[in-house]
Amino acid sequence: MNQPSTNLVRGTVDLLILRALQPGPAHGYAVSRWVHERTNAVLALEDAALYQALHRLEDKGWIESEWGLSENNRRAKYYQLTPAGRRQLRTEIGAWKSYAEAVFKVIETA
């Protein structure tokens, strides 16, 4: 499978994670499943990369984590958006839309 450029992937992964957490707190596995299902596995995202992204986003202060109990009563780390994270999500969605529109326009007219 052809890989999109890394920058593109990283930006996209950040956006996807933030979007996945938008409805509410979730643990890493739930985020992973959400991404797979929503993208129909088009993005072959390794879980290792996903977790690195989660920790990176936490370091940036966009999400925060807390240990809690999972649906099957196991200790799991739950992530949720911070106010800064919500703002970031809005900006990224806006940026993605205009980017996609621009690219789409070019493809359509060609």
Partner 1 sequence: MKVPGVRRLFRFPWRTREDVREDVRSEFRFHLDMRIEDLRREGLDEASARARALREFGSERSAERVCAVHGDRVERRRWLARLAGELSQDVTFAMRVVARNPGFALVTVLTLAIAIGANTAIFAVVNGLLFRPLPVLAPHELARVKAGETQMSWLNYEDVRRDNAVFEQTAAYRMRSLGLTTAERPLLLRGQETSDNFFSLLGVGPSRGRTYGPDDAGRGLVVLADRVWRSRFGADESLLGRTLMLGGRPYEVAGIMPALFRGVAPPGFTSDFWLLADPSVAGPAFQDRAESAFEVVGRLRPNVTHAQAAADLQVLARWLRSVHPEIPERFLAVEVFPVDGVRAFQGVARTLLPVFAFLGVMTVVAGFVLLIGCANIAGLLMGRAAARRHEIAMRLALGAGRGRLVRQLLTESLVLASAGGAAGVVLATWLAGGVDLLASRLPVNVELNIETDLRVLIYSGLATIVATLACGLLPARGAARFEVVSTLKDTHGGTPGSRRTRRALVVGQVAASAALLLWSGLFVRSLGRISDVDPGFDPAGVLVAGVVLQDDAGEAGERMLTGLHQRIADLPGVESAGLARIVPLAMEGREEFDVAIAASGGVSLRRVTANRLGPGWFETVRIPFIVGRDFTWEDRQGSPNVAIVNETLARQFWNGDALGKQFFHQNRQPVDVVGVVRDSKYWTLGETVRPMVYLPFGQSPIAEMSLHVRTADPGSATRAIVGELQQRAPGVAVEIEPMTEVVSVAMLPARVGAAVTAAFGVLAAFLSALGIYGLVSFSVVQRTREIGMRKALGAGTVDIARAIVGGSVTLTMTGLVFGLGLGALGGIALQGFIVGVSPLDPVTLLAAAGVVMSAAFLASIVPTLAAIRLDPLVALRDA
Q: 2 to 21, contacts with partner 1 by CB under 8 A?
A: none
Q: 45 to 84, contacts with partner 1 by CB under 8 A?
A: 46-49, 51-52, 54-56, 58-59, 65, 70, 72, 74-77
| Residue 10 near residue 92 (C-beta atoms within 8 A) | no
Residue closer to partner 1 by CB (options 57, 89) is 57
Q: 81 to 100, contacts with partner 1 by CB under 8 A?
A: none
Residue closer to partner 1 by CB (options 15, 76) is 76
- Label residue 41 left, alpha or beta by phi (over 0 means left) and psi (-120 to 50 means alpha): left
Cα 77 from Cα 69, distance rounded (Å): 8
- Which range in 9-17, 26-34, 81-89, 94-102 contacts partner 1 by CB under 8 A? 26-34
- Which tokens is 104 given? 């789409």
| Residue 18 near residue 85 (C-beta atoms within 8 A) | yes
| Residue 86 near residue 62 (C-beta atoms within 8 A) | no
- Total interface residues for partner 1 by CB under 8 A: 22
Report how far Cα 90 is from the mean position of its chain's Cα atoms.
13
Binding site for partner 1 (CB under 8 A): 27-29, 32, 46-49, 51-52, 54-56, 58-59, 65, 70, 72, 74-77
